[in-house]
Amino acid sequence: MLLALLLLAPVANDVPQRLVGGALADGMAYQRLSELTDTVGARLSGSPGAEAAVQWALQRFKQDGLDAHLEPVKVPHWVRGEETGEILAGARRQPLAITALGGSVGGDVTAEVVEARSLDDLRDVRGKVVFFNHEMNKPQDYGRDVDLRSRGPAVAGRAGAVGVLLRSLATASFRSPHTGVTIYEADAPRIPAAAVSTEDADFIHRMLARGPVKAHFTLGCRWLPDADSFNVVADVRGRERPDEIVLMGAHLDSWDLAQGANDDGAGVAMVMEAGRLLQALPQHPRRTVRVVLFMNEENGLAGGKAYAAAHAGELAKHVAAIEADAGAGRALGITLRAGDGGDAMLMPWLEPLHTALGIGLQREGEAGGADISPMGPAQVPFAGVHVDPTHYFDIHHSAADTLDKIDPQLLAQDAAAHALLAYGLAEMPQPLPRPPAREPRNRQEPLKAH
């Protein structure tokens, strides 16, 4: 059966070489990432950096020959301000490496600290600072512990706490706190919330074992009115079925602490490079490949929601969606969420990926992503390039997310993998079967496919 399918997959012999060879030889993905991180820098929604990134991406897409345009998005605008903190234990005053959680209110807090290990572990917290501690030490722990960040301040505020300190969600730290969005609830008090480095979290835990501990921290963050921004959309027009779309997405925004090189500058560079290489093919794939750089994934998902709403009438013609938002580790395999028989249909088109890069279909785990998740109710098939997440959370959402952490060769390979995957999905004679309908997740913050 597989041999028969392979015979039905007439990938032009020169296409893999043009896509893989171009990505590996040209060095364009790393060059683009360097431009984005070094000349634009941090790109939190509503900031001047985010606006500069939009204009930069639009110009680069047009230089590459793609049909590019901007689609408006109204985004939240939160600014960090100054932030300081210290632990008071007897006569000891220990400064904290601290950073506000995204979306936190500002304020000045001094109160006794109580430690909690879960959202259900809040006892006698009225008038106190809740210190959420946890044991994240590998990437897979993120999904288990992320509720402490996204919902912890709201739950603690409802229980009467006056502030929250969170052990950073990180697999490594050099006293670098890791931020991330927190979500308040309409009927609960909004209390200041900040992350502390893992080293400081260990210190707080040890000092609590010795006796009472107080925390004093000040956050200067505040909310400004929603800002006007854009998704950047660029098409490689299909030669036969241009109304059928294979979407490749990444998010253009980043947190404000660093350059956002891994999250998600790397994804931006991958899909832009894939689009450039596909546009340069002598013969485009039969369907349109659309590259979308979404705005506001980090603290609101406005871009993903706006795209799904603006293109609601076309989602039935979106035959697949790919999201690159897991860093630039080594490509390990292809993930898929499609209907029955989708695996068998896609496998022959992955043969060039296996030959060139040694990766094929991954049987465990499903494709997905935060920005493409609003297309899920339309039962759009999802595919993805699964990359090694081992060191992703070492720098995730921290000041250490800088260009020097990116391996140019791995980035180029990841870009090539995205180009080949998108080409196969856009060229295969019949589109993938659509997956069954799925119940919406009971979660306020869609999680990335880490």
- pLDDT above 90 (res 377): yes
| CATH architecture observed for domain 2-75+226-427 | 3-Layer(aba) Sandwich (3.40)
For residues 237-264, average pLDDT: 98
d(CA 380, CA 436): 10
- pLDDT above 80 (res 446): no
172-201 core/surface letters (b: 16 or more CB in 10 A; e: else):
ebeebbbbbbbbbeeeebbbbbbbbbbbbb
For residues 77-84, average pLDDT: 98
Per-residue model confidence (pLDDT) at position 439: 67
Catalytic: which of 297, 323, 427, 445?
Answer: 297
The answer to whether residue 297 is catalytic is: yes
Looking up tokens 């600014």 gives: 79
- pLDDT above 60 (res 450): no
For residues 52-64, average pLDDT: 98
Per-residue model confidence (pLDDT) at position 91: 85
**Length of the chain in terms of residues written:** 450
Using 50, 70 and 90 to split pLDDT, how confident is the model at 362? confident
Nearest alpha carbon to residue 182 among 13, 299, 308, 277: 299
Using 50, 70 and 90 to split pLDDT, how confident is the model at 447? very low
Peptide bond into 264 cis (omega under 30): yes
Q: Provide the pairing of β-strand 287-294 with 241-251.
A: parallel
Nearest alpha carbon to residue 88 among 96, 79, 77: 96
Q: Which DSSP symbol is given to 159?
A: T
Instruction: Tell me what the pLDDT averaged over the chain comes to.
Output: 94
Per-residue model confidence (pLDDT) at position 443: 40
Record the pTM.
0.94
Q: What percent of the chain has pLDDT over 90?
A: 90
Per-residue model confidence (pLDDT) at position 75: 98
Q: Which DSSP symbol is given to 65?
A: T
- Residues in Cβ contact with 120 at an 8 Å cutoff, skipping those fewer than 6 apart: none
pLDDT tens readout for residues 116-139: 999 999 989 999 999 999 999 999
- pLDDT above 60 (res 7): no
- pLDDT above 80 (res 5): no
d(CA 242, CA 231): 21
d(CA 11, CA 351): 9
d(CA 421, CA 444): 31
* Largest distance between two CA atoms of the chain: 77
CATH number of 81-220: 3.50.30.30
Domain ranges of the chain: 2-75+226-427, 81-220
Using 50, 70 and 90 to split pLDDT, how confident is the model at 438? confident
Assess contact for 219 and 107: CB atoms under 8 A.
Answer: yes
pLDDT tens readout for residues 334-357: 999 999 999 999 999 999 999 999
Per-residue model confidence (pLDDT) at position 12: 64
- pLDDT above 90 (res 101): yes
For residues 197-218, average pLDDT: 97
